[in-house]
Amino acid sequence: MPEFAIVRTVADLRAQVGAWKRSGQRVALVPTMGALHEGHLSLIALAKTRAERVVASVFVNPTQFGPNEDFDAYPRGEARDAELLAGAGCDLMFAPGVAEMYPQGFSTSISVTGVSEPLDGAARPGHFNGVATVVTKLLLQCGPDVAVFGEKDYQQLQVIKRLVRDLDIPVEIIGAPTSRLEDGLARSSRNAYLSETEREVAGRMNLALSEAVRRLKAGESVERVEATGRAALERAGFQRIDYFEVRNADDLSHPGPGTLSGPGRVLAAAVIGKTRLIDNMAVE
Ligand code: PAF
């Protein structure tokens, strides 16, 4: 087999991963929706430290987009993705078509309660069922030893950790730190939608989050920090704020009023122009 290959069927994926495993090599999976950027490449780099072989899946998953969301507009560019993956030392790209993932008659949905319900779960009904279903399929199709996901999608990461525990899927889930641009904006495929002026506004979300972390550490109350954060996003020019909230880090339950006592996470989602951005930061 050449150094880097593209496969499109579950059978070909399993054949290659099976051969690696039989020869004693550990396999890592990095699930993506393509439109790759340096953030994704940092996930590949992390995966390479944890396994001899790295598989990246590239699949724009229709079931995680709502009817009025950007599924059609989502940036796609398979040739460029393949080039970037090969350059980053990825061994195999799994790029299935929709019919391979959701054949005629497909009728199953994985639903994770609790951790998937607030925040993006409330703002994007059905989104996490789509994510949980496709990630479960990818894990069962590939059978990796480890799978790497970015902390930028922090709630998604917690949903995936929960489903892997609940369904006894034998894989270690690793969260990778958010990759950021010079002004702190989290790298995202959706940044490509931003105009020059929107890009400036976008760069203020991470400032509002780090200010919230600073205030929480200084003992300011959760409700005050949330109100100040929302006001900062409004002032920055975001047109719709879906949430700016402080949550407990592990199960994303709300810590209630008063000061934060355990490890927390501040999470935000807001819209500028046609682009919905999310980001989050740890309060350790
Ligand atoms: O984070 C993403 O890119 C997607 O939600 C994922 C995990 C690849 C599932 O489609």
Segment 116-128, tens digit of pLDDT:
999 999 999 999 9
CA of 116 to the centre of ligand 1 (A): 14
Active-site choice (37, 40, 127, 254): 40
The answer to whether residue 37 is catalytic is: no
What is the location of CATH 3.40.50.620 in the chain?
5-176
pLDDT value of residue 206: 98
Q: Give me the helices (H) in 74-221, please.
A: 78-87, 98-101, 120-123, 127-142, 154-166, 196-202, 205-217
Closest C-alpha residue for ligand 1 atom 2: 32
Which fold is adopted by the domain 189-279? Pantoate--beta-alanine Ligase; Chain: A,domain 2 (3.30.1300)
Q: Do 150 and 36 contact (CB within 8 A), yes or no?
A: no
Q: Do 134 and 101 contact (CB within 8 A), yes or no?
A: yes
Three-state secondary-structure class, residue 34: coil
pLDDT value of residue 1: 43
* Ligand 1 pocket: which of 36, 40, 61 to mutate (most atoms within 8 A of CB): 61
Which fold is adopted by the domain 5-176? Rossmann fold (3.40.50)
What is the location of CATH 3.30.1300.10 in the chain?
189-279
Q: Is the CB of 135 under 6 A from ligand 1?
A: yes
Closest C-alpha residue for ligand 1 atom 8: 32
Closest C-alpha residue for ligand 1 atom 5: 131
pTM of the model: 0.97
Q: Is the CB of 7 under 6 A from ligand 1?
A: no
- Low-confidence stretches of the chain (pLDDT < 70) are 1-2
**CA separation, residue 266 to residues 16, 41, 115, 154, 272 (Å):** 40, 25, 15, 10, 20
Q: Supply 14's token pair.
A: 């399993």
pLDDT value of residue 3: 87
The C-alpha R_g of the chain, in whole angstroms, comes to: 19
Closest C-alpha residue for ligand 1 atom 9: 131
pLDDT value of residue 204: 98
Q: Is the CB of 33 under 6 A from ligand 1?
A: yes
Per-residue pLDDT tens digits for 51-103:
999 999 999 999 999 999 999 999 999 999 999 999 999 999 999 999 999 99
Cβ-proximal residues to 271 (8 Å cutoff; 6+ apart), any chain: 238, 239, 240, 241, 242, 277
Strand duo 27-32 + 172-176: pairing: unpaired
